Chain A
Amino acid sequence: MSHPTIRRRFRPGRAVLSAVAILVAMGWAFPVYWMLNSALLPNSVLTSTTPRFWPSGGSLDNFAAVLSQGSFLPALGMSAAITLTTVAVCLLFAFLAALAISRFKFRGRTSFVLAVLFIQMLPAEGLFIAQYKMMSTLNLLNSVIGVSIIYIAAVVPFTIWMLRGFVAGVPAELEEAAMVDGCSRTQAFFRITFPLLAPGLVASGVYAFLQAWNEFTVALVILQKDEYRTLPLWLRGFVQASATRETDWGQVMAASTLVAVPVIIFFLIVQGRLTSGLVAGAVKG
């Protein structure tokens, strides 16, 4: 910035690059736009020979039709129950473990950290057969608890990893100083350390939320009854049901929008924290 000559020399290239960037952006976002556009258009327009690129004459009829079928809200409830359970339990467990590995030196610490790293790499697709058998033996198929347990185990290693960096970033001396100033240990923890950990808890909570909310494979295997479908399973069922003769794309796109838009809005709000948390966990190794 302190070299105006260099900046000026780069300018024409910059304009071209900006144009390229905006073109790439438009192309990349197009499928999302196309989903919204199709969701707003009536089927008579979608089945005509020329596509309409702008939702003129659009309406919310497709959304009304999807919602009136009555299966969306139960699926939403199921997704909410599983996700909340996963996020809450996962944060608690990971927080305790992160405290252990960043505030204590103990025998087995390194092996635990290595194990956490390895477990992160275990593919869900390599274990779901055994998990399905286990849940069926324990009578936990088609239950919030059964799915949540698997999600917690899948997400906890990474949240430990993320939180570890944040806990290590708060020096224990801060608490001790507060105690010298007359705080009790509990007060010192909740007034000093906890607020400093909040960004880390939010970041790992968001990560757990997105994983649980969007998960498909385990849900497909464990939740086999229609009444217990999560939103991803509901959407798949909706697409299949709609495809009996010729797919009602307007309604299918409205259903997709219903599943996607809440996540997208949530994600856009919190993404700054998520990416900084991801980078903190991954890069600080």
Chain B
Amino acid sequence: MSATSSATAANRATARPRRFRPAPYLLLIPSVAVLLFALGYPLYWQVLTSLQKFGLAQQFGKPPAFVGLENYRQLFSDPQTWAVVGRSIAFCLTNAIITVVLGVLIALLMNAVGKVARLILQISMLLAWAMPVIAVMTVWIWVFDWRRGLVNWLLTNLGLDFTNHNWLEQPLSFYFVATVIVVWMSVPFVAFSIYAGLTQISEEIMEAAALDGAGSVKRFFAIIVPMIRPVLMIVGLLQVIWDLRVFAQIRMLQDAGAPTSSTDLLGTYIYRLGVGSSDFAMASALSIFVLLLTLALSAFYVVHLMKEDS
């Protein structure tokens, strides 16, 4: 039914372009409605709540009082908040950089080797990419398990004493484990995207550069990087945005026995404030901060994309 009306509308569009036509707006209604309902309204509620006092008492019917920016003041005068923000940004940048660098290297490897080796490499990447995040977490927690994990056994057999070493106890090694996992599961997306970009580069250019005496490092920076720059930009920014809000990975590692106060990142901290201690106002204020941070990053991306488009 919808198909008929749209085909009709499309034809009418070519015939009479000037008049107001409701068809495109009608076609947009379902999407706009669901977006307004499930994202727009919560966003509005969150902005409003972040300006109110909304704790446990309000949960039981006490009307929330408007407090202006008091929640934000309180939130950002708490050193705990800054610790979480700092940790999140450091974690995000570290992971994004490692992921992109490894992704590019693996894409170059895919491009350089023969068919069979490439296929084997691609299948292994697909396996890691397709794993559901919770399954990924369970496997890696088993690999790093303090009593019977493979990593401890391996390191101990290499002559280092890692018997019963608990990786999740100390924040630094907790983040090391989290980084290994996040990078492992994010590299395939980057590798495939960059590889798709690499296949667009003509072999003649590379061969000509090689004949002119350009070494492989020089060829990489002078030819490959400029040509895959659009893809590189997109995946780099997506990584930053995704890594800024890792939740499931951190949450599952905390489940596996890590002290939460010293390992919380933005996502888990919002969860703890909101669902955990019912301080919806504080959780909302922090969420708004995360949204603004993400929006600032994506504005940069959208502007760049538009510029490249025109």
Residues of chain A touching chain B, judged by Cβ–Cβ distance below 8 Å, are: 1, 3, 6, 14, 17-18, 20-22, 24-26, 28-29, 31-32, 34-35, 38, 46-47, 50-51, 89, 92-97, 99-101, 103-106, 109, 112, 114, 117-134, 149-150, 152-154, 156-157, 160, 172, 175-176, 179, 185-186, 188-190, 193-194, 210, 213-214, 216-217, 220-221, 231-232, 235-236, 239-240, 243, 246-247, 249, 252-253, 255-257, 259-260, 263-264, 266-268, 271, 275, 278-279, 282-283, 285
Contacts and interface: CB of A to CB of B under 8 A. Distances in A.
A104 B43 contact: no
B72 interface: no
A32 B127 contact: yes
Contacts, number: 327
B142 A93 contact: no
Contact of A121 (B123, B184, B241, B309): B241
Given A25-B120, A97-B28, A216 B248 contact: yes
A92 B118 CA distance: 37
Contacts of B230: 283, 285
Contacts of B93: none
Nearest to B282: A129
B306 to A, nearest CB: 8
A256 B266 CA distance: 27
Contacts of A134: 41-42, 45
B245 A32 contact: no
Contact of A149 (B34, B123, B305): B34
A28 B125 contact: yes
B109 A21 contact: yes
Nearest to A253: B142
Q: Say what secondary structure dominates the interface of chain A.
A: helix
Contact of A264 (B131, B196, B231, B294): B131
11 contacts: A17-B117, A24-B106, A31-B139, A32-B131, A97-B30, A117-B298, A121-B297, A126-B245, A216-B133, A253-B139, A268-B130
Interface centre among B9, B248, B298 (most CB of A within 10 A): B248
Contact of B252 (A236, A246, A253, A278): A236
Given A186-B7, A267-B130, 13 more contacts: A6-B211, A17-B117, A24-B124, A32-B127, A101-B28, A103-B13, A104-B13, A122-B43, A123-B241, A129-B287, A153-B38, A156-B35, A185-B7
A25 B184 CA distance: 12
Contacts of A285: 230, 305, 308-309
A160 B30 CA distance: 12
A268 B35 CA distance: 31
Nearest to A120: B298
B3 interface: yes
A131 B38 contact: yes
A260 to B, nearest CB: 4
Contacts of B187: 28
B27 A236 contact: no
A205 to B, nearest CB: 16
Contact of B153 (A25, A51, A193, A246): A51
Interface string B104-133: 001001101110111011011111111111
Given A25-B123, A109-B24, A275 B192 contact: yes
Contact of B39 (A127, A172, A194, A239): A127
Given A34-B150, A97-B27, A100-B28, A126 B294 contact: yes
Contact of B267 (A35, A217, A278): A217
B10 interface: yes
Q: Say what secondary structure dominates the interface of chain B.
A: helix
B110 A96 contact: no
A118 B231 CA distance: 18
A172 B14 contact: yes
A235 B255 CA distance: 13
Interface in B141-174: 141-143, 145, 147-148, 150, 153
A6 B211 CA distance: 9
Q: How large is the interface on B (under 10, 10 to 19, 20 to 34, 35 or more residues)?
A: 35 or more
B51 interface: no
B76 interface: no
Given A25-B121, A175-B10, A132 B138 contact: no
B8 interface: yes
B214 interface: no
Q: What 8 pairs across the A-B complex have the smallest Cβ distances?
A: A130-B42, A153-B38, A121-B298, A267-B130, A100-B27, A29-B124, A104-B24, A25-B124
B218 interface: no
Given A93-B31, A123-B244, A132 B2 contact: no
Contacts of B302: 114, 117-118
